[in-house]
Amino acid sequence: MERRRSGAAGDGGRSRSPGGRGNRRLQGLVLLGTVLVLLVLGSAAPASAHAALRSSDPEAGSVVKTAPRHITLAFTESVGLLDDSFRVYSPDNHRVELGEPQHADGASDTARAALPPGLANGTYTVAWRVVSADSHPVSGAFTFSVGAPSPTPPAAPADHAEHPVTKSLYDTGRYLAYIAAALLIGTAAFAALCRPPDTAPLRLPLLTGWWTLLIATSALLVLRAPYENGTSPSTALDLQAFTATLTGRPGLALLTRLALLLLTAAVLFPLARRGGPRARLATGAGVSVALALTWAAAEHASAGIQVPAAMTSSVLHLLATACWLGGLTALLLTLYRAETPPPPDTVARFSRLAFLAVTVLVVTGLYQSWRGLGSWSALTGSSYGRTLTAKLAAAVFLLAAAGLSRRWTTLLVTRASVPAAVDARVPEPVGAPGGTGAEGPPRDAPEDAPATPPPPTADHYRRALRRSVLAEVMVAVVVLLITTVLTGTLPARAEAEAAEAPRPQVAGLPGAEAFTIPYDVGTPEGRGTVQIQMDPGRVGENGLQAVVFGPRDALTFVPELRVSFTLAARDIGPIDAQVTDRGGYWATNDLTLPLEGTWTMKLTIRVSDVDQVTETRQVEITR
């Protein structure tokens, strides 16, 4: 009987019955399901680039007297250049030969290309594509005119847009790499610092993390060229494009990460294993820091203000996240799968490690939030701020769950430190005052007095700790999901810098009527403005041009735009303007308004397959 009790305690309260095995399978499926949900939702999250166009020379929509010698773009952070970063189309819609793209005056946040001499008068369309410092490609288009605008500006090409399949595959690889790094580093830190007696359950997360990170990094390296150029995955077989990506910062970071993983498996860990615990700890710490640097060197921390402090903060933030969330997974597996349950000392060590990790996360998180927000108003007035607020709210729940786990850890350690003899009740002699006789309850006590419940055992606290850690892991999955979305959202500071730049205007003829109409379909990326220009804005035949700008005043492309005019006072209309997509803007040259008066212009903007909005504007048409 005593041996059976010891076996039950040794299993941490686990049942050997089929029902117990079914419960464990169910728990495993729940954990697997949350990770899959994270991957699916994470891959569907928008990955807006962090670099925004600050200014251009010539300015968008401007009319210059003489042909410029260069096209120069300035961004809110450093950018990488591609062989095809600039495409310029002449007024007759032929591509203009340009010089090799380069940084203007050596400034990493600029892009420049030389124009050929002797450009003819008319409107030129510029399509550009660069790689943001956080590894996301950024693209856009604008027009400028030499001498005078063309009656019909050339169309901006559509092939600079992102390829949806390539983007989806690349984003999935990025999120898998984040998860694998947290699992690998966190499990290794738990094994080295918390020293559980049974490390057998940790082999699976270690191998899973290493292999997943290796495969994800290899896939990202192969997909890097089509991701940067906005082409299909099949172009990954282009050896010249693949070689070109290895010279850029993101490509070098991925190559370094891949080499580091192979070197660690082949050389470092075997050497450290022969050197003892201290050598393994030093090797693991060095590899973890080096891996974290491959992310910091290719993301937003490497550009903007206070780069050394930002990169240090980014490395510490990633390592703290891995030690906490990856360590939580390791602790959960140890609590459920270890043949010998972890002793209170192991749990107490992880509690201290988690507290240190949370402290580092709070400090680095506050700094990174300040660096990304720039102002308190951006916390509610920008997409970055609202996503950050959601992350902070989820982090509060995570801290609450962590506090509960820490409470159960303290009780478990306290109970385990109490000698067994203290819990034993020493029976008093039969017949002694207040004693317990063989007949039953004490003579002085009422016959119906309730029995005193036994104090909670260490197994009770261990089971409670398992439940609280499981809840903590579930909340941590949500925090990690929001974090992946946050890394792909334009920081409010960069958004404010871009908004301070001169707003692009639609190029048109002198005397034309121009106005701006805001729109909002109710989604984060479904709001912006439409700049409309009517030429000449009078009775008779008119030309109409419409340019759509997104939520950050950047030129954007929408699948459909409709414009109609109604003169209610004369019961005329609606007259469909029949605007067509000219590749970057919508236009018509055949809008005829027969009478003067106050016309109602109805503008419908469709931003996706299901999201659209209709706005109206009163337009005065004179003779």
The answer to whether domain 53-157 and domain 506-621 are alike in fold is yes
Of the chain, the percentage scoring pLDDT greater than 70 comes to 69
Note the pTM of the prediction, 2 decimals: 0.58
DSSP conformational letter for 622: B
Ranges of residues in the chain whose predicted pLDDT is under 70:
1-50, 151-162, 268, 271-273, 275, 300-305, 372-383, 402, 405-406, 408-458, 461-462, 472, 476-477, 479-513, 524, 552-555, 583-584
Please name the residues in contact with 293: beta carbons below 8 A apart, sequence gap of 6 or more. Answer: 311, 315
**Tell me, what's the pLDDT at 187?**
92
**Tell me, what's the pLDDT at 541?**
81
CA–CA gap between residue 493 and residue 377 (Å, rounded): 11
Nearest to 301 by CA among 134, 493, 497: 134
**Tell me, what's the pLDDT at 363?**
85
The number of C-alpha atoms within 13 Å of 128 and in the hemisphere containing its C-beta is 32
The distance in angstroms from the start CA to the end CA of the chain is: 105
**Tell me, what's the pLDDT at 185?**
93
> For the segment 309-354, what is each residue's pLDDT rounded down to a tens digit?
888 888 998 899 899 888 888 888 888 788 877 888 888 888 888 8
**Tell me, what's the pLDDT at 497?**
57
Strands 63-64 and 137-146: parallel
**Tell me, what's the pLDDT at 511?**
42
Residue 199 near residue 187, CB atoms below 8 Å: no
At residue 80, what are phi and psi to the nearest 5 degrees? -100, 150
CA–CA gap between residue 610 and residue 107 (Å, rounded): 42
Domain 506-621 matching CATH 2.40.128: the answer reads no
Please name the residues in contact with 362: beta carbons below 8 A apart, sequence gap of 6 or more. Answer: none
DSSP conformational letter for 150: -
Structure tokens at 463: 């089971």
Nearest to 113 by CA among 123, 124, 97, 100: 100
Helix (H) or strand (E) holding 411: helix 383-417
CATH class of 53-157: mainly beta
CA–CA gap between residue 376 and residue 137 (Å, rounded): 29
DSSP conformational letter for 93: S
Residue 360 near residue 316, CB atoms below 8 Å: yes
Q: Where do the structural domains in the chain lie, given as residue ranges?
A: 2-44+165-418+456-491, 53-157, 506-621
